[in-house]
């Protein structure tokens, strides 16, 4: 079975890359549209310029940056609060934020309760 060609709201990746930021913003969900219409910060502009140049070891703290079509195919390291997580941007990520792909919280892994946590725990051997 042939792989389905990517499209976002009926537009191919090449069509999306040819759109201006304002035209692209009209296709994005409300939150991303609002972020783009308010304008990009200086940090966001620097990251975008480095991506366009093809910087292969790009690290950023800009977790609130909307993923644009011209970023597709780039490798970026996004800060999670502790370390930089490596992300390769794919077409399906357009309209999402960089921070969504670099989780800042671990999943909770509960172990057995300690001594004194429950009334019956006093009967458990402390080994």
User: What pLDDT shows up at residue 127?
Assistant: 62
How far apart are alpha carbons 30 and 126 in whole angstroms? 55
In a domain, 91, yes or no: yes
In a domain, 115, yes or no: no
The whole-model pTM stands at 0.81
In tens, the pLDDT along 44-90 reads 999 999 998 988 889 999 999 999 999 999 999 999 999 999 999 99
Q: Tally the domains of the chain.
A: 1
In a domain, 109, yes or no: no
**Measured at the alpha carbon of residue 39, what is the angle toward residues 104 and 16, in degrees to the nearest 5?**
85
How far apart are alpha carbons 124 and 114 in whole angstroms? 9
In a domain, 1, yes or no: no
CATH classification of the domain holding 78 = 3.30.860.10
């Amino acid at each position: 079975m042939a792989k389905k060609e990517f499209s976002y709201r009926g537009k191919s990746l090449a069509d999306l890359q040819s759109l201006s930021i304002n035209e692209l913003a009209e296709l994005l969900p409300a939150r991303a549209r609002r972020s783009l219409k308010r304008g990009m910060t200086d940090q966001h502009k620097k990251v975008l310029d480095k991506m366009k140049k093809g910087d292969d070891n790009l690290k950023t703290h800009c977790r609130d940056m909307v993923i644009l079509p011209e970023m597709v195919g780039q490798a970026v390291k996004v800060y999670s609060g502790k370390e930089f997580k490596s992300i390769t941007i794919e077409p399906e990520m357009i309209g999402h934020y960089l921070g969504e792909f670099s989780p800042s919280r671990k999943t909770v892994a509960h172990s057995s309760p300690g001594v004194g946590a429950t009334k019956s725990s006093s009967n458990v051997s402390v080994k």
